[in-house]
């Protein structure tokens, strides 16, 4: 754009300025739509639609182990490389991941699967550290929930479309065992587009809010940070391939709905920001308890060694409805929980470099839990035991999140806003 910003006054009147937080958050949403959004679609098919779930479990253990490490390191990498190189490096590993499944359809090579997923974990750490820095530091404090829900909706549209990619060609193939080559090639094209799109993002020093402040010249307070871990296990044993594709459409659609609902509550529910945080967390806790209880009711009806017949959306009749609604509800809950966590993390600071470290640390700890979950499943731990443990961890996280909200969220009071730094301020100014 040729925008320097250290010696010119920038107009903030245009509604859709390229250097506005709105446009930049939308762009990172589109990047994640193309890369992790499509990854979610593949993962939702059960190991990319491949027949061997054990191979997928072992590969995912490698993925989330490296993701945990590089998620924590990603904030520092973001500070060195900036958003473009950090995100482009991360996105490129998603293309490699999709290429692996194209290869795996023809050559069942377990070692290559583990290596490919381990590399993806490194890239995912880069990507989500950069995403966190943009989504939770660029928006103004009073609209963080709205921007988070905007990102989450655009991002999860990738899962919706990614679910349609295998659903449509497999519509008449109820016994299809794995995704075909066309599915993988289509997803690779989306991921390549996301990698290129990441190069269009602006560095934070060139992003200007409507009040004239830049995303780097912001004063912030030093605060304590807590890590909130959520462990999710999605059971693909109940559905055949084309039905898993349809379920993915509604699962990620549920994420879009959930992010919009909780984003509205967190930004507009009450005048007090702290009260909004408590109410939002309470709604997520109540909804989560009900959904996990529904999952328990379904889980007690079968075990790993006594699986029910696979459900099909056309042939299973009313037996499909209950699991379908439950799967949609898990998507709704995931988006509401993670949007709330991001909203609280956004209250810790305004500086993008600081928040890239916080966001990366959050995703790193989350991924460590996922690595454990995939390894536990690979060891054939009973499904009911896994559900109870996951539900227990999630339940413990609610009061921890409430405590963090109580400690860091301050209510807005007129006249108490920190001094803003106009877009025309000298470039030598440093954040405190």
Confidence tier at 362 by pLDDT (50, 70, 90)? confident
CB-side exposure of 336: number of CA atoms within 13 Å? 28
Question: Would you state the pLDDT for residue 186?
Answer: 81
Confidence tier at 32 by pLDDT (50, 70, 90)? very high
Q: Would you say residue 225 has pLDDT above 70?
A: no
pLDDT greater at residue 170 or residue 422? 170
Question: Would you state the pLDDT for residue 399?
Answer: 93
Beta strands in 89-173 (DSSP E): none
Alpha-carbon distance of 394 to 59, in angstroms, equals 24
Question: For residue range 172-205, what is the model confidence (pLDDT) as tens digits?
Answer: 665 555 566 777 788 889 999 999 999 999 888 8
Percent of the chain whose pLDDT exceeds 90: 16
Q: Would you say residue 31 has pLDDT above 90?
A: yes
Give the three-class secondary structure for 155. Answer: helix
Is there a contact between 230 and 338 (Cβ–Cβ < 8 Å)? yes
Most confident stretch, 147-151, 299-303, 360-364? 147-151
Is there a contact between 209 and 140 (Cβ–Cβ < 8 Å)? yes
Question: Would you state the pLDDT for residue 35?
Answer: 92
Question: Would you state the pLDDT for residue 232?
Answer: 35
Q: Would you say residue 7 has pLDDT above 60?
A: no
Neighbours of 425 (CB within 10 A): 15
pLDDT greater at residue 311 or residue 78? 78
Q: What is the sign, positive or negative, of the torsion defined by CA atoms of 60, 66, 72, 77?
A: negative
Question: Would you state the pLDDT for residue 336?
Answer: 92
Mean of the pLDDT values across residues 60-77?
Answer: 83
Alpha helices (H) along 105-176: 110-137, 144-167
Percent of the chain whose pLDDT exceeds 70: 74
Compute CA distances 385 → 56, 64, 303, whole Å.
20, 21, 10
Compute CA distances 427 → 7, 79, 420, whole Å.
8, 17, 14
Question: Would you state the pLDDT for residue 291?
Answer: 92
Question: For residue range 38-51, what is the model confidence (pLDDT) as tens digits?
Answer: 888 777 655 544 55
Average pLDDT, the chain: 76
Furthest CA-CA distance within the chain: 70
Q: Would you say residue 287 has pLDDT above 90?
A: yes
Is there a contact between 424 and 9 (Cβ–Cβ < 8 Å)? yes
Q: Would you say residue 234 has pLDDT above 70?
A: no
Mean of the pLDDT values across residues 129-153?
Answer: 85
């Amino acid at each position: 754009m040729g925008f320097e910003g250290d010696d010119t006054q920038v107009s903030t009147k245009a509604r859709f300025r390229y250097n506005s937080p709105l446009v930049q958050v939308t762009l990172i949403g589109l990047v994640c739509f193309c890369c992790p959004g499509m990854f979610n679609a593949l993962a939702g098919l059960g190991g990319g639609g491949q027949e061997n779930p054990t191979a997928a479990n072992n590969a995912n253990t490698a993925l989330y182990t490296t993701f945990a490490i590089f998620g924590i390191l990603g904030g520092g990498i973001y500070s060195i490389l900036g958003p473009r190189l950090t995100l482009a490096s991360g996105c490129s590993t998603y293309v490699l991941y999709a290429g692996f499944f194209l290869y795996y359809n023809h050559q069942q090579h377990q070692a290559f699967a583990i290596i490919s997923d381990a590399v993806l974990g490194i890239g995912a750490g880069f990507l989500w550290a950069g995403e966190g820095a943009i989504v939770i530091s660029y928006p103004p404090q009073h609209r963080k929930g709205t921007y988070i829900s905007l990102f989450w909706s655009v991002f999860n549209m990738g899962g919706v479309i990614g679910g349609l990619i295998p659903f449509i060609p497999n519509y008449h193939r109820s016994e299809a065992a794995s995704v075909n080559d066309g599915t993988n090639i289509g997803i690779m094209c989306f991921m390549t587009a996301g990698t290129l799109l990441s190069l269009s993002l602006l560095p934070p020093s060139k992003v200007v809010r409507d009040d004239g402040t830049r995303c780097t010249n912001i004063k912030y307070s030093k605060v304590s940070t807590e890590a909130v871990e959520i462990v999710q296990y999605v059971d693909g044993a109940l559905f055949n391939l084309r039905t898993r594709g349809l379920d993915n459409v509604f699962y990620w659609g549920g994420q879009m709905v959930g992010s919009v609902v909780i984003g509205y509550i967190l930004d507009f529910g009450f005048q007090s920001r702290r009260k909004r945080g408590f109410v939002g967390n309470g709604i997520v806790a109540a909804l989560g308890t009900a959904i996990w209880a529904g999952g328990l009711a379904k889980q007690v009806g079968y075990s790993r060694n006594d699986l029910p017949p696979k459900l099909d959306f056309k042939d299973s009749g009313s037996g499909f409805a209950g699991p379908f609604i439950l799967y949609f509800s898990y998507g709704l809950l995931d988006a509401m929980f993670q949007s709330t966590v991001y909203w609280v993390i956004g209250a810790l600071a305004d500086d993008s470099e600081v928040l890239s470290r916080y966001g990366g640390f959050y995703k790193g700890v989350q991924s460590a839990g996922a690595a454990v979950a995939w390894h536990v499943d690979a060891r054939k731990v009973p499904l009911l035991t896994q559900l109870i443990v996951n539900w227990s961890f999630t339940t413990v996280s609610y009061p921890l999140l409430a405590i963090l909200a109580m400690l860091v969220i301050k209510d807005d009071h007129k006249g108490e806003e920190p001094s803003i730094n106009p877009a025309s301020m000298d470039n030598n100014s440093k954040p405190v």
